[in-house]
Homo-oligomer: A and B are copies of this chain.
Amino acid sequence: MRMVKGCPSTSMDDYQLNTTTLIRHAVRNFPDQELLYRSNHQLFRYTYKDAYKRMMRIANFLENKLEVQPGDKIGVLDWNSERHFELYFAIPGIGATLLQMNLRISPDDLAYVTNHSEAKYIFVDESLLSVAEAIAPNLQTVKGFIIMSDKPMSEIKTTLAPIYPFEEMIKDEPAEYDWPIIEETTAYSACYTSGTTGRPKGVYYSHRNMYLHTMAGAAYFGVDSHDCLLVIVPMFHGQSWGLVHVAVMMGAKIIFPGRFMAENTAPLVDLMIAENVTITGGSPAIFLSMLQYIRTLERKPDLSRARFLSGASEPPVSLMRGFKELTGAEIIHAYGATETTPLVAINYQINPTLRNKLTVEETWDLRRKQGLPITGVDFTLFDPDTGQEVPRDGKSVGEICIRGPWITGAYHLTPEDESGFRNGYWRSGDAGTIDQNGYVKIVDRIKDVIKSGGEWISSIDMENALMGHPEVLEAVVVGIPHAKWQERPLALVRMKDCKVIPREEFDHLLYEHFTKWQLPDQILFVEEIPKTSVGKFNKKEIVKQYKNLYLGMESEGVVSSEL
């Protein structure tokens, strides 16, 4: 790459992109816009103006009482609360870095993350005291815990020490604060990846990164001050902070439902209807359970203004169609990862040159893809073995590699490592294709791709095909070592009411997308599928359990005659 420098501009190029600008803008222009939060089963309303005053009190508390300096890391262990929101702006606003603490990873890893980031203090919600207590003995740098609760401190029982009562500490701080200008490459927040192998790795997002990501989100979601965001995904995840910042940038209403996640679908949907929610983010699993609840409602809600972003995995067509037909809401597939802030691709509106060429069925099918890259983000495909660029022809599979202003270029205090980055791109670990109209499609995790006789079989596509059976609750497909073909597919299925059905019923579904030689040698009915701490299929564990299953087999099942 050539790098050139030309005539200097007269622009204010030294104007620093700071997230403080976003909240200041919201408060100046939408001071009375509502922010809702749920606490003790009650819904409370306050405004941007109110929240901003509390942010300033917190900033003063951080500086004056805790002596937090620019560059310090401050942990937050909380659900989707208004306090977590206030900390989104108060901690980074003084030049410190907010460490997002994922309460679902193992205590061992969580302690590691806290020590690795050298966190100075931890803000912890009362309901998560036990999580903090479990790691406290192993913390090396933390000087104290700020307890966030509505109860008086005398009612709080904890082994943590020293502790500071959040509400009592901030209430007498001044509600005025002179926010500094922060050098835009300063880390706004940090989040550690929850990899299934090795220790979590630190992604530190700059203010510049967050600011540009927010602008891109606003451009692609078309958010304005008449929108209402419901924050479903935990606020320590990218999908959540991404949407919250977009909402703030455009002055939208936000609802923080507290500890009120996927398991409580009915009240979540009721809240959505009552407050005219137009934007939210989640995974297909969450939206599926919402859809099931909506089907039970006598009067179907009108959610025709709503755009719901679905990440983590491919949304089934039945889910997208169901929402559209029942409520008018669009389920939009978006793609991203912790390392990408997260938004890098979105399948929103059909590319106009394709629009008139596709049938309704083909259009829905297209919408399952990861979509088009967001402007400003470069996608490329590298052959994982040779490192050569793979053509953008919609067929050739390569590892999806990404670069751009909100993509991580390294891991915090981790030596550069070819396994994570290649030629200036971050390696997603996803195997995929890109077609001539720019559509990105993930076919598998690189490590999960099944390599059979020199060909690749997509475990994800096969899982989706199996999931098409109405009696299947969960399906997972892995590659099991095979003497002749290197690997052969094995499927595990968990059925409703532990039913068992004839193999043909699956094959019928599989033949729609696969040829005979690709079909799994065995499909096993199981009562439980092993999962990781964050709820993903633990394919490593499954392969380990079944590693000898195909050994010594020449060939098996339906594939025998074909191979």
Contacts and interface: CB of A to CB of B under 8 A. Distances in A.
Given A29-B351, A31-B436, A185 B8 contact: yes
The 10 A-B pairs at the shortest CB distance, nearest first, are namely A29-B438, A9-B206, A218-B219, A6-B186, A11-B209, A2-B180, A4-B95, A222-B222, A5-B183, A32-B353
A13 interface: yes
Categorize the interface residue count of chain A: 35 or more
Interface in A176-193: 178, 180-188
A71 B6 contact: yes
A178 B215 contact: no
Nearest to A180: B2
Nearest to A425: B12
Contacts of A205: 9-11
Contacts of A94: 4
A458 interface: no
A352 B184 contact: no
A115 interface: no
A216 to B, nearest CB: 6
22 contacts: A2-B178, A3-B180, A3-B183, A4-B94, A6-B96, A6-B183, A7-B71, A8-B185, A9-B187, A9-B206, A10-B410, A11-B407, A12-B404, A12-B407, A13-B208, A21-B378, A25-B376, A28-B438, A31-B436, A215-B376, A219-B223, A251-B352
Contact of A95 (B5, B11, B96, B424): B5
Nearest to A203: B10
Contact of A33 (B17, B206, B353): B353
A367 interface: no
Interface in A194-212: 202-206, 208-209, 211-212
Interface string A220-255: 001111100000000000000000000001110100
A24 to B, nearest CB: 8
Interface in A1-56: 1-17, 21-22, 25, 28-33
Contacts of A218: 218-219, 375
Contacts of A373: 25, 28-29
Interface string A479-523: 000000000000000000000000000000000000000000000
Given A1-B181, A3-B183, A7-B71, 16 more contacts: A1-B180, A4-B186, A6-B70, A6-B183, A10-B203, A10-B204, A10-B412, A11-B205, A13-B184, A21-B376, A22-B375, A25-B373, A29-B351, A29-B372, A30-B351, A33-B352
Interface of A: 1-17, 21-22, 25, 28-33, 70-73, 94-97, 178, 180-188, 202-206, 208-209, 211-212, 215-216, 218-219, 222-226, 249-251, 253, 348-349, 351-353, 355, 372-373, 375-376, 378, 392, 403-412, 424, 436-438
A375 B9 contact: no
A222 B223 CA distance: 8
Nearest to A412: B10
A130 to B, nearest CB: 29
B249 A219 contact: yes
Contacts of A208: 9, 11, 13
Contact of A375 (B25, B73, B253, B404): B25
